[in-house]
C-alpha cells in the first residue's frame, strides 16, 4: 500500500487539493486499490482560498515522513494566508525530509514555492504559476530553481511541479503513475473519462 500525504496549508486552493483526493479515491475503487491518501493540515481547521472550511484527518504535528511514500502539495493565494502556513519552518523541514528520503513530491501551481523555499529545488528544473508577468516564476528562480517557464509540468527526479491550476489533474495522474504503473493509471483515466 502506497500512502500519500496531502499537505494542506491554510489558504490552499480547494480544486488543486481535490484532484488528488479524487484521483486516488478512484484508484482505490476502480484502479489497483494500492494507494491511500491522508489529508494533513497545518492546523486542525483550514479555510480554503475561496472561503470554505476543511477539517483534515490529521495535523502536521501528528505525522512523520516515515508514514508516507509521497507528498502532494496544492497551491493557494497570498490573500488567503497561504504562504504564512506554507513557509512555516515545520512545513519546510517536512518537505526537505521527503526529498532526503527520495520520496515523490508533487505540487500544483504555487505549491512549488514552499518546495523552492525549503531548498529542495536548488539547481533543479521546476516551474510554478506562469501568468501575472511571471512574478511567481521569478520568485522560484530566486530560490535557486532552473525555471522552465513554458512547460506545463516539469518532473526532475522525484519532484513534480506545474505552472497553473489547469494542470491539476495531469499532476495527480503523473503521481499515480509514478506510484503504481502506466497501465493502472490508464485504467483510472478511462474510468474517469479522460481517455476513451
Predicted local distance difference test score (pLDDT) of residue 196:
86
Q: What is the pLDDT of residues 12-47, one digit of tens each?
A: 999 999 999 999 999 999 999 999 999 999 999 999
Distances (CA, A) of 93 to 65, 67, 116, 120, 143: 10, 15, 12, 10, 16
Element (H, E) at 38: strand 35-41
Q: Is the pTM of this model over 0.75?
A: yes
Query: Would the pLDDT of 11 be above 90?
Result: yes
d(CA 117, CA 190): 37
pLDDT mean across residues, the chain? 97
Phi and psi angles of residue 74, each rounded to the nearest 5 degrees, phi first: -75, 165
> Could you report the per-residue pLDDT of 106-134, keeping only the tens digit for each?
999 999 999 999 999 999 999 999 999 99
What does the alpha-carbon distance between residue 39 and residue 27 come to, in Å, rounded to a whole number? 16
H helix or E strand, kind and range, residue 4: strand 2-8
Which grid cell sits at 54? 476543511
Amino acid at each position: 500500500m502506497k500512502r500519500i500525504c496531502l499537505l494542506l496549508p491554510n489558504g490552499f486552493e480547494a480544486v488543486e487539493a481535490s484532484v488528488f483526493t479524487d484521483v486516488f479515491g478512484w484508484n482505490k475503487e476502480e484502479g489497483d486499490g494500492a494507494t491511500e491518501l491522508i489529508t494533513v493540515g497545518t492546523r486542525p481547521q483550514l479555510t480554503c482560498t475561496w472561503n470554505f472550511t476543511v477539517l483534515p484527518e490529521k495535523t502536521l504535528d501528528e505525522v512523520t515522513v516515515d508514514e508516507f511514500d509521497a507528498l502532494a502539495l496544492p497551491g493557494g493565494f497570498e490573500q488567503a494566508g497561504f504562504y504564512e502556513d506554507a513557509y512555516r519552518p515545520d512545513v519546510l523541514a517536512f518537505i526537505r525530509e521527503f526529498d532526503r528520503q527520495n520520496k515523490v513530491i508533487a505540487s500544483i501551481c504555487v505549491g512549488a514555492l514552499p518546495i523552492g523555499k525549503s531548498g529542495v529545488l536548488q539547481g533543479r528544473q521546476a516551474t510554478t504559476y506562469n501568468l501575472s508577468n511571471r512574478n511567481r516564476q521569478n520568485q522560484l528562480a530566486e530560490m535557486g530553481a532552473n525555471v522552465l517557464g513554458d512547460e506545463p509540468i516539469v518532473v526532475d527526479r522525484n519532484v513534480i511541479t506545474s505552472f497553473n491550476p489547469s494542470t491539476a489533474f495531469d499532476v495527480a495522474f503523473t503521481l499515480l503513475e509514478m506510484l503504481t504503473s502506466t497501465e493502472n493509471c490508464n485504467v483510472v483515466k478511462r474510468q474517469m473519462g479522460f481517455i476513451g
